[in-house]
Amino acid sequence: MREIKIEAKTTKEAIEKGLMQLGVTREQVEVEIIREEKRGILGIGSQDACVIIREKIWGEAHEGKKEKKTEIPIEEGFKPSGNIIEDVKKIFSDILSRSKIDFKILEEAYDESKSTVYLNFQSKDAGLLLYDGAKGLLSLQQIVSIIINKDPNKKIVVRLDTEEFWNKTENRIKRDVEHAIDFINRTRRPYRMKPMPSTFRKIVHDIVHEKYPEYSTFSQGHGRFRRVVIRYQKKQQTKDSSGQADLSETTEEKKEEATDNQNVQSQ
């Protein structure tokens, strides 16, 4: 009796590969699924499927052995329940459960004044989500946000947190802003921060506006190269040749900041 152990991206691919190597048909073998594929989050933490394909011995009683099959139920799309926190928890839980990532929700809150849902969770796979600048966590946050914001008349901001990621990030950004302000005070030149996602750029805008009102911020660049520029803003307005206050630059800065805020709300 011949048997072979095969790994592939999916269970189906592993079975087909094994049949080809043994030179038999599906009816001539028994399949034992050792491990099903794990998709992970955006490819992070994914795992190939593994099966053992065993050639049947005709004439012996193998009829009692049946291949184990996993049935995936077909569910309807997401329907809001009216409870924003519960809806966000359900979407979040469904995504991680289907990705076979263990988790436990520790805290949940809804700030109605900011239309923001906060969800703090614990996971053994937190390292996967926080790897490479927390791309996994930010992507998960964006997916949940897209689903919860099906209603175009009401925008909900979703903030997912694990391992105190946002607290650590905000403290790091505060230190970067302090360094930028010190540079501007010494040189009187604008300071261009490194490119960052819109969620991080909004934190920079908020810190400067709250702690350093004599300074202004605006964003420049496109896509993943977009960054925040901080500069000293004189309190008095300059006037053009017609005697009118020149507010064009300030207006442009407000447009840039509004763009960052819209990007955050859409995530």
pLDDT tens digits for range 87-127: 999 999 999 999 889 999 999 999 999 899 999 999 999 99
In the CATH scheme, what is the code of domain 84-163? 3.30.300.20
Q: What is the pLDDT of residues 143-192, one digit of tens each?
A: 999 999 987 777 899 999 999 999 999 999 999 999 999 999 999 999 99
What does the alpha-carbon distance between residue 44 and residue 139 come to, in Å, rounded to a whole number? 11
CATH 3.30.300.20 placement within the chain? 84-163
What class, spelled out in words, does domain 166-265 have in CATH?
Answer: alpha beta
Q: Is 158 exposed, middle or buried (0-12, 13-18, 19+ CB in 10 A)?
A: buried
Q: For residue 94, what are its two tokens?
A: 């469904």
pTM over 0.75: no
CATH 3.30.1370.50 placement within the chain? 166-265
Give the other-Cβ count within 10 Å of 150's Cβ.
Answer: 11
